[in-house]
Amino acid sequence: MNFHGNRNGGSVQKKPTITKRTVQVAAPRPSPQPVQRAPPGNRFQLSQNKKLDQKKPAKSAQAKPTKTVAQHAINRGVKRKSATPDRIVFSDEEDDDNDSSDVAASDSEASRKRQKSSRSSVETDEGPRRRLVLQQAFEDSGDPFDFIHGADATSGPYAQKFTNPWEQDAFSVVELQYPSKSKRERFELKWPKNDADDYKPMEDILATIDTICTYYLPEEMGKKYTDDLTGFGRRFRLAFTKQSVEEWISIVEEFNGMLQPLIQDGTVKKELAQTTELQLDWIKRILDQIFVRTVSPKAEKLNAYKNGSDNVYGELFPRFISDIFKKTGLKHDQVFIDLGSGVGNVTLQAALEVGCESWGIEMMPNPCDLAELQAKEFAARTKLWGLDVGPVNLLRGDMTSHPEVPNILQRADVVLVNNQAFTPALNDKLRDMFLDLKPGAKVVSLKPFRPLGHKIAARNVDSVVNQFVQDQYEYFSDSVSWSYYGNAHWYIATKDLGPLNRFLKDHGMDGL
């Protein structure tokens, strides 16, 4: 029967034609699952493909336990890849010329790519670039200097914290050549009894050799000695598997024999002269060596602070600091100051990574003592590595009343204030001190000095904050010592009178 006939005229309608087509439709992508990050390992824990001990305990799903300040100071861990943060501008006018660009590659990827210069001169299109070579470190007649050997951190009053590897009756001593004409560093081949916290000299040797092969040798030679199949690292791991101290020592001596002629014939110096910047894992290797020889043995002193006061110790980790330097555009011919510099980590990193004039001021006696130990070792150890660094200047006292601070602020290009735990009264004092900053100077803080959403108005036209344009950023996991998971904000306030002067002009007032 025809159920679709023409009900009006009785004529039969033409049967409609049906065309079939096959259309490919992309399947919807599943929502990404959140990445579960493991807590950071020990400061000298090797990367996954370089660990000496391949047996790992099952990871617990429990929340990360709270650590003491001393444990954080010893065990700062490996920094992880961060997502790219959004940029929020709290100025009265948007500024698109200062885009945010977070560090988006891991240490084993982007940071290990050598940046070479094809120019024989140190001139660039932006002016003179930083010199990395310390000429004195490559002179035969260089003056001898003292540094803390790895063996010093495992002997004397610290010997009881270590044991001989593989139940050896006696420990062995080995010397390691650095990429300069300095004397070699002495190491005792021992293991820490407390594997979680203490210094690991054998891993220190392995990581140092890997860094030297990566950044101080001609590229093809460096690839050979860092390759997973032919490099020193694989041979060290085999020696570890065999439990052979003798083979370990033989590999170190072979490395010394390879490096020494390259130092003498100028190859190492030439490679360093062609390098344009220090990569993060290189920076961390040097800073870790300094920290573990000076601060770690005395880290319990850092727990002696008064909770709830302005004098609370908190540490910013190297990857976060490196990102701050990049976002502020800090250059080697500029001035940096850390107000509340603690044990001096950031002050040293600025002098090493950027090569700028670097200042720090701290009022708590214990951190001041440790900072001075670090600064002394910094001068010697950077010479071991053949590096020319910026001058380090440490002050003791109250940042709000020290007589030298106003003069430094007048010259400063970047000011860092870790004001996470500062009281409102101290933040107000510091904000008023920033009136002395020159135009273009930047203040980095973990709490904003300019209230979020602030607008210039007739009622607040005299406020100090109107002289600053503020950008907001986000820091991520393992960036600070007091919160592993991160996901909090930090700020850059730039001294800029432009918006205030435009407001004054538009309202018939005199500009500044």
- Annotated binding-site ranges for S-adenosyl-L-methionine: 313-316, 336-345, 362
Task: Report the distance separating Cα 479 and Cα 103, nearest Å.
Answer: 12
Angle (nearest 5°) at CA 177 between 194 and 198: 10
Cα–Cα dist 405/337, whole Å: 9
Which residues touch 174 (CB under 8 Å, ≥6 apart)?
Answer: 186, 187, 189, 205, 248, 249, 252, 253
Cα 104 from Cα 107, distance rounded (Å): 10
Binding-site residue positions? 313-316, 336-345, 362
CB atoms within 10 A of CB 303: 13
- Cα separation, 68 vs 76, in Å, equals 12
Collect all residues with Cβ–Cβ distance below 8 Å to 138 and sequence separation of at least 6: 180, 181, 263, 266, 268, 269, 386
| Residues comprising the chain, all counted | 512
Interatomic CA distance for residues 351 and 341, integer angstroms: 14
Q: Which residues contact 101 (CB under 8 A, 6 or more apart)?
A: 84, 326, 327
Task: Give residue 401's identity as a one-letter amino acid code.
Answer: S
- C-alpha–C-alpha distance, residues 265 and 180, integer Å: 12
